[in-house]
Structure 1
Amino acid sequence: MRSVRLSVALAREVSLARTQAATGWLRGTPYGRTLRRLIEGLAEIQIVDRSLALAAQIFTSVLPVIIAASAFSGWQAAANTINDQFGFDSESLSADGGPMPTDPSMAAFGVVGLLMILLGGTSFARALARVYEAVWQVPVIGPRDAWRWLATLLAVALAAGLVGQTRELAEIRYAGRPLALLSEVTIWALVWILAPFLLTKGALTGRLLWVSGVLTAVGLTAVHAAGRVILPRIAANAHENFGPLGLAFTSVSWLFVMSVVIVGAASVVKALALDETTIGRYLRGPGSGDRE
């Protein structure tokens, strides 16, 4: 029922926009008003500030979960993800330049540290929930629904790890690269359909969810493709000049770009949902109260 009420609210906002006297392309045409809503929406939710906050939470919450979880299976899983997403070799972080050790003390960290990291790592999911609250005007979830934060954190961490493993598909002859690309888009789409569903308590309709998920997935995959070209050189220069601190700064900066995609995709879908043409009517769905 919440999703139906949201669709009706969107339709009412569209109806109000139609009745307002306006001139000029941005105010007087449906597509102009959609573009104007997008620009105003991005400014209203403070996309730069929210993306910076989200990037910091990914760095301090999601990455530690991936690293801690890899203690059960060795360093390679986390190493592949870091190498694939940020463009630098994680083996360079060890003292002797070799692979990270996986002794019993590391396993102990995986058991105890993972539990502590999971408890503290939900700050990422809470920051993401505040983004959806600002975009979709839905109530923020409280401690009674804390499992939603944990589920979102684990889903994003798992997806990041799986995306890091898709690089192996590129080794398949002929179909390797398209298969790896399709796998990455699919993984990101699934997780970014699930995340807003969990963090809005089902307030969004299925159409809004899948469009938002696909748009986010395409954006993240495009950023990742660009990162394969430019990140290795940036990371190498940062490490040469500033050491591990330079790599940390490079990572956070790249996470900011990814966060802009996540926050921006939600804002784009909201603007399209308020569109007065076929696109908006489709996204709002039947029963939204639209009038031709």
Structure 2
Amino acid sequence: MRSVKLSVALAREVSVARAQAASGWLRGTPYGRTVRRVLEGLAQVQIVDRSLALAAQIFTSLLPVIIAASVFSGWHTAAKTISDQFGFDSESLAADGESTLTDPSIAAFGVVGLLMIVLGGTSFTRALARVYEAIWKVPVIGARDAWRWLAALIAVAVAAGLVGQTRELTQIRYAGRPLALLGEAAIWACVWMLAPFLLTKGALTGRLLWASGILTAVGLTAVHVAGRVVLPRMATNAREHFGPLGLAFTTVSWLFVMSVVIVGAASVVKALALDETAVGRYLRGPVDKDRE
């Protein structure tokens, strides 16, 4: 029962923090100590460095898998996801006006993308697992559990494709856009509950998983809403000045913002789980006093 052990460990951390309470709002009050834990947690996990690494892995590992799968399946997931999440139409990148996703060279790239799933496509989920290891202090995934990397990769890739499909809901009159946002949030919530479950080998309790999933989903959906405002102009300016290289830089920059949400949400949930009020007690769940 890894989840029970984790709950006990969290409860012990709370007891130690309460015993070491000092004067001042950040140290002397439960809410202050929670804010302090959030700030310390973000610093300890090195959120900027880990988010940069995660964004790079999404760009070089996850996106090629989505594109390759789109080429072979005929389901234009990549085009819809890129257009919906990053603010520019991938089909407009073709010089001859044809879709880049149906170009033979891209089909060859799709083969490479599928090969990356086998050889190196799990780089993204391995980086994500290291984030969870640093935050939750869970054991490293070994060779026997390597399937978890692939399962998490497929889950995130499929979720990204489904999010691209939610744009179809915007065609519904009046309620289309709210439904699309709700659909996107629901998809992200599900996948960001499943990913930490897989990559921590089930160490997190159900309450911690749904809290992490919902917080991540809210953050990613908010980033998407903001992106609809700022990304089209950013992408247009970048393409005019630097061509495809500018679009790549814009994409990586926005992936960094999304990665900050993913890493930050997990760190915030850890801080809330150490909260000394009802919020923390609920997230930790019931703890057997004999185990403390």
Q: Provide TM-score, normalisation by structure 2.
A: 0.95
| 1:121 partner SS | coil
Q: CA deviation at 1:89?
A: 1.2
Deviations 1:56-113 (A, max 9, x none): 0000011001100011233732111111111011112222133126377765664x43
Change beyond 3 A, Cα 1:130–1:9: same
Q: Is the contact between residue 69 and residue 114 of structure 2 (CA under 8 Å) also seen in structure 1? A: no
- Report the Cα distance in structure 2 between the residues aligned to 1:101 and 1:277, rounded to whole angstroms: 52
1:133 is aligned to: 133
Residues 1:182 and 2:177 aligned together: no
Structure 2 counterparts to residues 112-127 of structure 1, below 5 A: 112-119=111-118, 120-127=120-127
| 1:139 partner SS | coil
RMSD: 1.8
Q: Tell me the amino acid that sits aligned with residue 121 of structure 1.
A: G
Deviations 1:2-39 (A, max 9, x none): 00000000000101111114000000000000000110
Structure 2 counterparts to residues 35-46 of structure 1, below 5 A: 35-46=35-46
Q: CA deviation at 1:114?
A: 4.0
- Report the Cα distance in structure 1 between the residues aligned to 2:101 and 2:14, rounded to whole angstroms: 58
Moved more, 115-124 or 270-279: 115-124
Q: Tell me the amino acid that sits aligned with residue 117 of structure 1.
A: M
2:197 is aligned to: 197
Q: CA deviation at 1:174?
A: 2.1
2:164 is aligned to: 164
- Report the Cα distance in structure 2 between the residues aligned to 1:283 and 1:185, rounded to whole angstroms: 21
| 1:257 partner SS | helix
1:206 is aligned to: 206
Q: Tell me the amino acid that sits aligned with residue 73 of structure 1.
A: S
- Report the Cα distance in structure 2 between the residues aligned to 1:66 and 1:28, rounded to whole angstroms: 49
Q: Is the contact between residue 101 and residue 107 of structure 2 (CA under 8 Å) also seen in structure 1? A: no
Q: Tell me the amino acid that sits aligned with residue 76 of structure 1.
A: H
Deviations 1:173-195 (A, max 9, x none): 12211211110010000000000
Q: CA deviation at 1:287?
A: 2.0
Residues 1:53 and 2:53 aligned together: yes
1:31 is aligned to: 31
Q: Which runs of no fewer than 5 residues in structure 1 stay unpaired? A: none
- Report the Cα distance in structure 2 between the residues aligned to 1:288 and 1:237, rounded to whole angstroms: 58
- Report the Cα distance in structure 2 between the residues aligned to 1:234 and 1:104, rounded to whole angstroms: 29
Change beyond 3 A, Cα 1:82–1:21: closer
Total equivalences in the alignment: 290
Q: Tell me the amino acid that sits aligned with residue 4 of structure 1.
A: V
| 1:217 partner SS | helix
1:17 is aligned to: 17
Q: Which runs of no fewer than 5 residues in structure 2 stay unpaired? A: none
- Report the Cα distance in structure 1 between the residues aligned to 2:105 and 2:245, rounded to whole angstroms: 26
Q: Provide TM-score, normalisation by structure 1.
A: 0.95
- Report the Cα distance in structure 1 between the residues aligned to 2:244 and 2:288, rounded to whole angstroms: 52
Change beyond 3 A, Cα 1:143–1:260: same
- Report the Cα distance in structure 2 between the residues aligned to 1:278 and 1:100, rounded to whole angstroms: 53
Q: Is the contact between residue 80 and residue 165 of structure 2 (CA under 8 Å) also seen in structure 1? A: yes
| 1:152 partner SS | helix
Q: Is the contact between residue 155 and residue 191 of structure 1 (CA under 8 Å) also seen in structure 2? A: yes
Q: Is the contact between residue 100 and residue 106 of structure 2 (CA under 8 Å) also seen in structure 1? A: no
